[in-house]
Amino acid sequence: MAIQTVKTGAAVNDGTGDDARTAFTKINQNFTNNTHAASRQVGTATGNVMEVGAFGLGTDALTQVKNSDLNTLKTSGYYTAENTNANYPPVTTASFCNIMVIPHISGYVIQLAFMIGSTSNLVWVRSCLNNTWGAWYKIYTAQNTTVDSNGLLKAASPIVRLFVDKIELNDEAKLQPITFEKLGVGDYLIKGSLGFAQEGWYIEMPKDANGNVLVAVVYEQLENNDISVKTYAKKFDEETGDIVANTAKPRDIPSTRWIDLRLQALPQDDTQPLSTDETDATNAE
């Protein structure tokens, strides 16, 4: 039914307008007709008309989830969470994240978490199936992976590619004052970094099609966190059966290849984001 409009007439008491009963009947129809907003209350309950900011829509500062378990966050919308919330993504580099909640039907939900204050722009995802939450999984992108000298995709943070006569830095490595010095044949010094990554892989040597390293590599992190990398010809150790460095024959890195160095990342800025509305997650359900 269309919105009913009360006829007020052309002039006072000229008989052309609606009488009182007809006028109030139209008004009642407007407020009982659920097909238009005039009959709805403003709020976030079923059947309400949403205002700007409801469920994080149209606002410049999301609702912050306070003192709650993220497992209870199942209502569609956009929220800000912090690492004090139970079941926060397993991240140490960001204390806050924005969460997008996408429900399917009751008991089936997807959460996407976008890290705040992390230079890695990390994104995590998890799903709830039949009211049982799965684990968080990190989404890999060009920002947090690298393709090594052998064409393999690897998890990354700050990455230095060490060539025979230069270095190349990814965006995270550029945040550190890293410089390069070639001290001699096969003798390289990486200066100004925080040193090797403390978790996961930290060096990858170039290999041939059979998986054999092209040069033997000897590396060391110095006390000031500078990294010394030396490359040598290879030789066979008859006692151990290993291929080892022939330290009497230094060799440069092959001109078309490089050595990947994964470094320790800078500490992250975990400054709490501003929010215009702080509420418990239970109010968002």
pLDDT digits (tens, 9 = 90+) for 167-223: 999 878 998 999 999 999 999 999 999 999 998 889 999 999 888 899 999 999 999
Average pLDDT over residues 262-271: 74
Residue 241 has pLDDT above 80, yes or no: yes
> What value does the mean pLDDT of the chain take?
84
Query: In the predicted model, what is the mean pLDDT of residues 109-135?
Result: 87
Q: Which of 5, 29, 30 lies closest to 18, judged by CA? A: 5
pLDDT (tens digit, 9 = 90+) per residue, 63-88? 777 768 999 988 888 888 888 899 99
Model confidence at 230, in pLDDT bands (50, 70, 90)? very high
Q: Which of 116-120, 126-130, 267-271 has the highest mean pLDDT?
A: 126-130
